[in-house]
Amino acid sequence: MSEVSAKERETANVGAGLWKGLGMWAWLLFRISGLVLVGYLFVHIGVISLGRAGADKLDQMLDLFHNPVMVFLELMLVGAVLYHALNGVRIVLMDLGIGIRAHKTVFWACMAVAAATLVVFVWRAWPSIF
């Protein structure tokens, strides 16, 4: 494994600070997906805490999740989790000096894995949607 110089690491993200190119979109979507996940965390805690109000209240809330709109939102949540996780792995690899020369290829490979996994989730959730 060859070492990546500081200059190569510096030029790998040229354009990200100028708001153009793939790096800018990866950065922006990473932050947005992180905010979505933090928001979901609070919603999840709220739903789970309904269990303290009684089984009937929790059952009413869980019945709401069988709505096709909610199934769609759950699939979007899975997409956000997949994007955030795989882009995070890509960032860690780049921090370790792995894949810097081919950072766009690594990004698209991660997105292909995320898309394929999301297709499996959609396929499994399809009966719940309709």
Please state the domain extents for the chain. Answer: 6-129
Q: What is the pLDDT of residue 119?
A: 93
- Could you tell me the pLDDT band of residue 11, with boundaries at 50, 70 and 90? low
CATH of 6-129, one of 1.10.10.10, 1.20.1300.10, 3.20.20.70, 1.20.1050.10: 1.20.1300.10
Q: Which residue has the higher pLDDT, 9 or 48?
A: 48
Distant-in-sequence, close-in-space partners of 24: CB < 8 Å, separation ≥ 6: 15, 16, 18
Q: What is the pLDDT of residue 13?
A: 55
Euclidean distance between CA atoms 13 and 39, whole angstroms? 29
Euclidean distance between CA atoms 81 and 114, whole angstroms? 9
Q: What is the pLDDT of residue 37?
A: 96
The answer to whether the predicted template modeling score (pTM) of the entire model surpasses 0.75 is no
Euclidean distance between CA atoms 60 and 15, whole angstroms? 49
| C-beta atoms surrounding 105 within 10 Å | 10
Q: What is the mean pLDDT of residues 57-75?
A: 84
- Could you tell me the pLDDT band of residue 80, with boundaries at 50, 70 and 90? very high
Euclidean distance between CA atoms 100 and 123, whole angstroms? 34
Secondary structure percentages of the chain, helix, strand, coil, to 5:
80, 0, 20
Q: Kindly calculate the radius of gyration of the chain based on its CA atoms and give it in whole angstroms.
A: 19
Percent of the chain with pLDDT over 70: 82
Where is 25: in which H helix or E strand? helix 22-49
Q: What is the pLDDT of residue 129?
A: 65
